């Protein structure tokens, strides 16, 4: 179900903690989320913004399963199927994410947070980014965004991945849309490393019907039911980005990274800002869980794979347990070990 529908469901079950007192985006908000164990929470009164903030919606597999309307044990086969057989989403004429159009961009209207004292600045870690590769088409992923001005971010763009390769093909500048407040299906799809040219939105559309809408100022399609869309362009300008916590909970180093200039902000009439804590449960669920069906599909190429579990002991990234039906042939077993080694790398 969509972001709003899922939040309303959790509210009806009494599973959302409301914080009514005024809370600052500077360290305080993140500290409370952490103290609550990343359980679903809703901040009604944010000091620096009129928007409420929600956190903790994908902090466990149980919450992911509830959002996808299935049992926990159904997640792996469903994601496996969605990866192997994505379905192109429909592009519609309008959506709630464009109820309000702000062309006089002021990013200070958003409750962008500083999470730890060592952060290089205020960050958006929860936005999914959508670009169009000149050859391969749409690519959706996560880029952490560090606020550097009224209408500018500097983004961590990992080298030789989807956005970076598209950017190089485009000559160093590229339109990009960043969406905040997304369905669990979209978050999982954006976290999944799919083969080149396979549309992550097609994967999301299998997990849950995901209609798209064209941005107002750039030729990029975004989920129509998200809360906030930042329409912009990756420029050739580079500045320092970081430090910021990575998945392992270790402070990531400072790098020279591309600046994104925001041209337009669209949002719902009453937008809700979704955040996640870097290096904590939600980050680990979103980054680790999509590796399970990827490994499941690869191992099944050489033997019967029954289950895959990315362990928290490996920071939900570096260690996995794989259950197989043991092959009779020693040759097949060795092939299986080779596949596992390649996938883990």
Q: Which residues are catalytic?
A: 246
CA 226 to chain CA centroid, nearest Å: 12
Facing residues of 147 across strands? Answer: 153
Kind of pairing between the strands at 53-55 and 41-43: antiparallel
Rounded to whole angstroms, the Cα distance separating 198 from 34 reads 35
Rounded to 10 degrees, the C-alpha dihedral 298/295/162/271 comes to 140
Among residues 198, 134, 201, 130, the alpha carbon closest in space to that of 165 is found at 134
Residue 260: other Cβ atoms inside 10 A: 25
Kind of pairing between the strands at 152-155 and 174-180: unpaired
CA 229 to chain CA centroid, nearest Å: 14
Contact 324, 303 (CB under 8 A): yes
CB neighbour list of residue 335: distance below 8 Å, 6 or more residues apart: 302
- Cα-based distances in Å from 107 to 147, 233, 291: 8, 15, 33
């Amino acid at each position: 179900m969509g972001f709003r529908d899922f939040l309303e469901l959790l509210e009806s079950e009494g599973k959302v903690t409301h914080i009514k007192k005024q809370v600052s985006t500077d360290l305080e908000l993140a500290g409370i989320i952490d103290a609550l164990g990343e359980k679903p929470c809703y901040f009604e009164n944010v000091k620096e913004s009129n928007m409420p903030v929600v956190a903790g919606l994908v902090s466990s597999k149980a919450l992911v399963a509830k959002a996808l309307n299935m049992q926990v044990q159904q997640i792996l086969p469903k994601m496996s199927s969605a990866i192997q057989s994505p379905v192109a989403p429909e592009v519609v004429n309008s959506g709630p994410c464009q109820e309000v159009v702000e062309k006089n961009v002021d990013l200070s209207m958003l409750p962008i947070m500083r999470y730890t004292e060592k952060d290089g600045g205020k960050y958006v870690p929860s936005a999914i980014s959508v670009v169009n590769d000149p050859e391969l088409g749409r690519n959706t992923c996560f880029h952490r965004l560090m606020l550097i001005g009224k209408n500018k971010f500097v983004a961590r763009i990992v080298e030789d991945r989807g956005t970076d390769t598209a950017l190089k093909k485009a000559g160093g500048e590229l339109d990009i849309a960043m969406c905040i407040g997304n369905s669990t299906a979209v978050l999982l799809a954006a976290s999944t490393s799919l083969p080149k040219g396979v549309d992550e939105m097609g994967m999301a559309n299998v997990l849950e019907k995901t209609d798209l809408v064209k941005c107002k100022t750039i030729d990029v399609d975004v989920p129509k039911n998200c809360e906030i869309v930042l329409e912009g362009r990756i420029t050739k300008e580079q500045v320092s980005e970081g430090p910021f916590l990575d998945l392992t909970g270790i402070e990531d180093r400072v790098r020279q990274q591309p600046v994104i200039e925001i041209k337009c902000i669209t949002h719902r009439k009453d937008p809700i800002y979704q955040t996640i804590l870097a290096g904590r449960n939600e980050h680990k669920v979103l980054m680790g869980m999509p590796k399970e069906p990827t490994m499941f599909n690869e191992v099944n190429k050489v033997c019967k794979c029954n289950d895959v579990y990315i362990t928290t002991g490996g920071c939900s990234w570096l260690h996995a347990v794989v259950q197989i039906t043991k092959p009779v042939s020693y040759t097949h077993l060795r092939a299986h070990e080779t596949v596992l080694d390649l996938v883990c790398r």
